[in-house]
Chains A and B, each alone.
Chain A
Amino acid sequence: SQTIHQWPATLVQPVGSPLSLECTVEGTSNPNLYWYRQAAGRGLQLLFYSVGIGQISSEVPQNLSASRPQDRQFILSSKKLLLSDSGFYLCASWAQGALGANVLTFGAGSRLTVL
């Protein structure tokens, strides 16, 4: 089964500073990868998804960007953070699970606080 690693787990950054959140996946190859953001009381919002290396689709206009430099690596970035970028960021991977059943698996998340 696949395992998703996210880091850092917790991050406190000042407004205007850059951001880099990293996600790596083990146990599968060529997965679809996703970045979700969870803000209090707002559920999970899909930010970006990728179906392959260098292929990034953005779901909502925002201050963030994503990149996929390797098959199992997905990075979320910002050049200048805004207060509204605070939240819990979850990386997810869609790959074939046991018995051929598709499964969306989540990492443990990265909590970002922008001050």
Chain B
Amino acid sequence: AQSVTQPDIHITVSEGASLELRCNYSYGATPYLFWYVQSPGQGLQLLLKYFSGDTLVQGIKGFEAEFKRSQSSFNLRKPSVHWSDAAEYFCAVGDGGATNKLIFGTGTLLAVQP
């Protein structure tokens, strides 16, 4: 069965600093991988996704993620964090099958300090 682990529950970074959020997945075949962001009390917005091809994926809002099969990881990065990036971030894995079910991690809450 698919599973996703986000080992960092809460991260605080200074505005302008770089950011890396960790995501590890468990899946037997080539996974479909996603990062979503959620602002308080809101739904989830897709940041980026990986289906195949180039393992470095660019997303919206200056985010990128790198798929590393050998490490079963799909870490999210941003070179310079803005105060508006404070939110909760979710990594998800899907099998791309007929049901297209996504399994989500427990999320990482990002705080940005001035």
Contact = CB atoms under 8 A, between A and B. Distances in A.
B90 A51 contact: no
Interface residues of B, number: 27
A101 B49 contact: yes
B19 interface: no
Interface string A22-52: 0000000000101010000111101001010
Contacts, number: 59
Main secondary structure of the interface of A (DSSP, over half): strand
Contact of B42 (A43, A59, A109): A109
B103 A104 contact: no
A43 B105 contact: yes
B44 A106 contact: yes
Given A46-B104, A49-B101, 14 more contacts: A32-B100, A42-B106, A43-B90, A44-B107, A46-B103, A51-B98, A51-B99, A90-B43, A90-B44, A101-B49, A104-B46, A104-B92, A104-B100, A106-B36
